[in-house]
Amino acid sequence: MIEINNVEKRFGSAEVLKRINLKVEPGEVVTILGSSGSGKSTLIRCINGLETLSGGAIRVDGNDVSTAAGLAAARRRSATVFQLFNLYPHMTVLQNVTLAPIHVLGQPRAEAETRARALLDLVGLTAQADAYPQRLSGGQRQRVGICRALAMQPRYLLLDEVTSALDPEMTGEVLDILARLAAEGTTMVFVTHEIEFARRISDRIVFLEAGELIVDMPAEAFFSEEGGLAVPRIRKFLSKMTKD
């Protein structure tokens, strides 16, 4: 379980996250929605320890990410897929995927490679295992990014706008894979602007507004007249998002 308790984050005097509370249970898909600058990325970066908290606490299966040991354990349980892929350019696809399993989890190389190849098969990149990231299309790169995350056998997958750098066709490729993972019961914390997709795969939706978590409800309720749409701010957000 990921527990986020009263988390605050300030950059100088700017309060970017204000007393956020959120729980993600194993098997859940939780989508974070909110307009640009509302703090979605910052929240993800707090969970994976790229930002230090200004207040409150985050625990991943009981491991406090603000301690060194807790963060190391938390990072072994969760894996992140990045908006701009962040692949290692000097390594082949296979090396990208196996680096952390070998050097962080201590898996034998052969085993890590077998698993990596199986994952690459799964996302249709069998032939690209020995290519360098530069040779791949954006959609292919993001599929590598997903494999790299899955190779850690994470309990939790953190995804921050993983399709926003992709064109619609490549977005489709990546979303199909994520839908499959969701159906298989992978736990995900998912930041996206793909409202329709979020509606389809999410168990719960939370809405961030200027650093505050103003709504946390089941996906169905969020999109219903008496639920999320009853909140004017969300109605406005959804109508704007679905228009373009």
Ligand X SMILES: Nc1ncnc2c1ncn2[C@@H]1O[C@H](COP(=O)(O)OP(=O)(O)OP(=O)(O)O)[C@@H](O)[C@H]1O
Which window, 41-49, 131-139, 166-174, 175-183, contacts Mg ion (CB under 5 A)? 41-49
Q: Nearer to ligand X by C-beta: 42 or 48?
A: 42
Site for ligand X in 13-32 (CB under 6 A): 14, 16
- One character per residue 32-61, x = contact with ligand X (rule: CB under 6 A): --x-xxxxxxx-------------------
Q: Nearer to ligand X by C-beta: 11 or 88?
A: 11
Q: Nearer to ligand X by C-beta: 119 or 208?
A: 208
Neighbours of 89 (CB within 10 A): 9
Q: Nearer to ligand X by C-beta: 40 or 148?
A: 40
Alpha carbon separation from 83 to 110, 186, 241 (Å, rounded): 30, 19, 19
Nearest to 58 by CA among 118, 13, 9: 9
Site for another protein in 58-77 (CB under 8 A): 72, 75-76
150 binds another protein (CB under 8 A): no
DSSP-derived secondary structure for 35-99: -TTSSHHHHHHHHTTSS--SEEEEEETTEETTSHHHHHHHHHHEEEE-TT----TTS-HHHHHHH
Instruction: Calculate the CA 49 to chain-centre distance.
Output: 13
Q: Are 162 and 82 in contact (CB under 8 A)?
A: yes
∠ at Cα 157 (136, 11), nearest 5°?
95
Q: Nearer to another protein by C-beta: 105 or 183?
A: 105
Residue of 6, 11, 103, 126 that binds ligand X (CB under 6 A) = 11
Residues forming the site for ligand X (CB under 6 A):
11, 14, 16, 34, 36-42
Residues forming the site for another protein (CB under 8 A):
48-50, 72, 75-76, 79-80, 82, 84, 86-92, 99-100, 103-104, 132-134, 148, 152
